[in-house]
Amino acid sequence: MRNRTEYNHLHYLNNKKYYKEKHHQWYLNNKEKKLKQNKEWKEKNKEKWEKYNINWKKHNPEKISKQNKRYSLKYPEKIKQNLEQWIKNNPEKYMLIQIKHNNKRKRELGFNLLYENIIKEKFDYHHINNIDVIALPRDIHRLYHGNNLLEHKFMCNEIIKQIYRRN
């Protein structure tokens, strides 16, 4: 052996199970004290802790995925309630997500919103081309639905010009 440090390290490696159990027992005996220390350290070193978390999340996506999967299997009702609550609180965002999802599946259309929605009533997003969309009142948008896609686009685009020129 060269020195004491090397000896200690080898001893630890040869007796890992013993030290792990010993540490675990110490933690159980001093759990409250340790949790309090950890909390204090996190409060004092908030920036360090946040950077560490960000870095850890970046380098451990598979662990996060497993954690999320376990959580979703353990608490499916809670997840469902949270989702329903979010949908109630954010109906416009939810509708936008659903529209994007449906359009992506149907016709491989893009979803680049050209203007913020100024329509106060129920509305649909109308594709003025394969990428760009704009809000249009639902009843007007559906008035020109039919088999002729070119006529639908032309009529809706004319109405859009009238609506958005005023505003």
User: Does residue 4 register a pLDDT over 80?
Assistant: yes
- 165 vs 78 pLDDT, higher one: 78
In sequence order, the 6+-apart residues with CB closer than 8 A to the CB of 10 are 1
Mean pLDDT throughout 47-61? Answer: 94
Q: What is the pLDDT of residue 107?
A: 67
Q: What is the pLDDT of residue 167?
A: 61
pLDDT digits (tens, 9 = 90+) for 82-130: 999 999 999 988 988 887 787 666 667 777 888 777 777 888 888 888 8
- 98 vs 49 pLDDT, higher one: 49
